[in-house]
Amino acid sequence: MNASTLRSRTFLGSEPVKPYTAYRWARENYTRWGRLLDIWRFVLTWLFYLWLDQQAWSYGGQATPERKAKRRRARAIWIRETLLHLGPTFIKVGQFFSTRADLFPAEYVEELSKLQDRVPAFGYEQVAAIVQQELGKPIEQIYSYFDPTPLAAASLGQVHRAKLKTGEEVVVKVQRPGLTRLFTIDLEICRGIAEFFQYRTRWGGPGRDWIGIYEECRRTLWEEVDYLNEGRNADTFRRNFRDMPQIAVPKVYWRYTSPRLLTLEYLPGIKISDYEALSAAGLDRKVLARLGAEAYLRQLLKDGFFHADPHPGNIAVKPDGTLIFYDFGMMGRIRPGIKEKLMAMLAAVVAKNADLVVASLVELGVLVPTADLAPVRRSVQYMLDHFMDKPFSSSSDEISVMAISEDLYELAYDQPFRFPATFTFVMRALTTLEGLGKGLDPEFNFLEVAKPFAEELMNGSRPETETLLAQVSRQAAEFTSSSLSLPRRLESTLSKLEQGELRLRVRSSEAERLMRRLNNTGLGTIYAVLFATFFLSATQLFLAGHATLAIVTLALAVLAALALVRVLLKANGSERLM
């Protein structure tokens, strides 16, 4: 495959982009106050659009699904273009949210994904200057050939094809000029935005840890800016897959690598989302879908070191079917203790044991222990029964990672869940890979691949050669641990009973319905009395010649009437739900 073919299948895309110098963030004299104004203007304008789109009158008639979809598409295009104008930091944020279909409508996800294919490149003169600054020699003395036209332009840098003086074909990743200064300004502003969404909007609360997501983004983005760190990640990733020849990772040429410059082995391939080209090359797309899923599950459950940004631009395929992974700037790590807890939770999920699942979630820090976890336990048991008893198939009601993630986030609104930021990146990667798998193979089911893989890992963690004495010892230790903890649990329960802290919760749907109806009736009566009082007062004031006071009182009567209508509609809706 020649360079032009690779270029047509990487980030640049076919749509024209504006010159690099046309963007304000690329100017050297761009101030912090200018950034602050531009970023918050975007955020506040977006919030206004969100409010406006919820108002039926803004559609100039009936708010039909077609009109709403058209409006969402227009908003998504505006967001994509605005993020592109805001520069590398927000292009990266847009790429992150392009795989979060649990947060945004399909139109938003589709438009944000185009940020991966339309990123402006900077000039060759700047590239040559950066190479000389980092390596201490002019570009002509290091490379026998250096293509001035980039193969790909990403949000943080761009990639050029080159050839070393020693003859090796390489690609050189060059960081965007002024990126460190821009990151410093933008991330400080983003902290304020995260706090605003967490504490000042209805999108915050227990189910959305915006501060945690910001901190994880900040850490990973700074790591991604350091190309030495990316080179180390690539080496670690390649070592982890050294016994799996179906996975290829570019070799790092450390002699020609620095914090702003990364020289890698040239490994061309077909972009994994170019389905027509894969079929034309005679590759089995079903095999590729399964291989990609197994490779990521291995990263997550076995290695504890996973690619946190597996979008289509970072995965390619060799003509022999080997998967190539690119871009190791954003990697996730799972601590050894967490891996064991994840395996324990998987075992509990397979056994459909809600008690063990809840205990595992508490240990993982996903669930905050409260005085009463019974509602959480019931919700978890329902999810286990709903998903585990459902047959794996290719029908429209199949189980999917997307469905599970949506249910998890919906559950988080009512229960004491606190999803760590790492969990968000894992779910994002799993959702992305499931989407790629379905694009490669319409019958692909990620959970169908994950279940036997997880069972194999769990079986492998308990050797078959374990002796009978070892099994008895292990079970005796587990029994002893449970027995020793029993007196403490009994003592805690009796202590709560003595102090009056032990609570018994009894729920009655009929009683709750009656209480809700009485509450609505009481509010309705109050608003009706207020309306009648204000209306009669306004009439008397008008007849007495006090027009100004009459208008004020009449306005209060209108507000009381609107409140009454709202209560009646709410009561009617509650009755229908019951």
pLDDT band at 510 (very low <50, low <70, confident <90, very high): low
Could you tell me the sign of the dihedral formed by the alpha carbons of 271, 274, 275, 278, in that order? negative
Q: Select which of 309, 355, 397, 407 is catalytic.
A: 309
Chain segment 474-488, per-residue pLDDT in tens: 455 555 555 555 565
Q: Would you state the pLDDT for residue 558?
A: 83
Strand partners, 333: 305
* Mean pLDDT along residues 212-237: 85
Q: What is the pLDDT of residues 32-60, one digit of tens each?
A: 888 888 899 999 998 899 888 888 888 87
Provide the H-helix boundaries in 335-420.
Answer: 336-351, 354-364, 374-388, 401-414
Distance CA 390, CA 399 (A): 7
Please determine, for residue 100, whether its predicted confidence score (pLDDT) is greater than 80.
no
pLDDT at 88 over 50: yes
Give the pLDDT score at 334: 78
Instruction: Please check the confidence at residue 99 and state whether its pLDDT lies above 80.
Output: no
Q: What is the mean pLDDT of the chain?
A: 76
323: helix, strand or coil: strand
With cut-offs at 50, 70 and 90, classify the pLDDT of residue 491: low
Nearest to 115 by CA among 197, 12, 32: 12
pLDDT at residue 435 is higher than 90? no
**According to the model, what pLDDT value does residue 402 have?**
54
With cut-offs at 50, 70 and 90, classify the pLDDT of residue 12.
very low
66: pLDDT strictly greater than 80: yes
**Reported confidence tier of residue 150, pLDDT bands at 50, 70, 90:** very high
Q: Is this structure's pTM higher than 0.75?
A: no
549-578: average pLDDT: 72
Nearest one of 5, 23, 38 to 122, comparing CA atoms: 23
Distance separating alpha carbons of residues 185 and 31, to the nearest angstrom: 9
Rg (CA), the chain: 29
Question: What pLDDT is recorded for position 159?
Answer: 93
Q: Are 315 and 272 in contact (CB under 8 A)?
A: yes
pLDDT, greater one: 527 or 98: 527
Token pair for 208: 């959305």
CA–CA dist 20, 27 (Å, integer):
10
C-beta of residue 210 within 8 angstroms of C-beta of residue 103: no
What mean pLDDT comes out for the span 301-327? Answer: 87
What whole-number distance in Å separates Cα of residue 23 and Cα of residue 87?
8
38 included as an active-site residue: no
pLDDT grade, residue 341 (50/70/90)? confident
Model confidence band, residue 103 (pLDDT cutoffs 50, 70, 90): low
Amino acid found at 423: F
Considering the chain, what percentage of its residues have pLDDT values greater than 70?
A: 67
Q: Give residue 350's pLDDT.
A: 67
- Give me the helices (H) in 167-324, please: 179-200, 210-225, 227-240, 275-280, 285-297
Percent pLDDT > 90 in the chain is: 22
Higher-pLDDT residue of 566 and 12 is 566
Q: What does the pLDDT look like over 269-304, one tens digit per residue? A: 999 889 899 999 999 999 999 898 889 888 887 888
